[in-house]
Amino acid sequence: MKLKPLGDRVVVKMTEVEETTKSGILLTGSAKEKPEVAEVVAVGPGGNVDGKEVTMVIKPGDKVITGKYAGTQVKCDGVEYTIVRQSDVLAIVE
């Protein structure tokens, strides 16, 4: 199955959280935070969304930062994805 977002929606896959800090401290499961950096998997066509013209500036393969609790989580072929609106993307990581 393949996810194809509609309108101004973007499908992202969250990146894995580092297991150790830069100084070498091992993090337990309770010390890990929900990741905010994600890789864009698919992008909707944009167009007229809610009466406004939306041009998509995000493209597949971009690394982006999303809001912590933004979007809807879905599971497809055993992989977890998050579907967010383009406006929920806070920044593109270069």
Give tens-digit pLDDT for 13-59: 988 655 666 677 766 554 455 557 899 999 999 888 888 888 999 99
Residue for token digits 């933004």? 70
pTM: 0.77
Name residues whose C-beta falls within 8 Å of residue 30's C-beta, 6 or more positions apart in sequence: none
Q: What is the pLDDT of residue 31?
A: 47
Using a pLDDT cut of 90, give the percent of the chain over it: 48
Structure tokens given for 42: 């698919």
Give the C-alpha separation, 73 to 80, whole Å: 7
Which domains occur in the chain, in start order? 9-18+27-93 (2.30.33.40)
Tell me how far apart the alpha carbons of residues 40 and 64 are, in angstroms, rounded to a whole number.
Answer: 7
Q: Give the pLDDT confidence score for residue 18 in this predicted structure.
A: 55
Helix then strand then coil, % of the chain, to nearest 5: 5, 45, 50
47-49 and 9-14 beta bridge pairing: unpaired
> Does 10 have pLDDT greater than 70?
yes
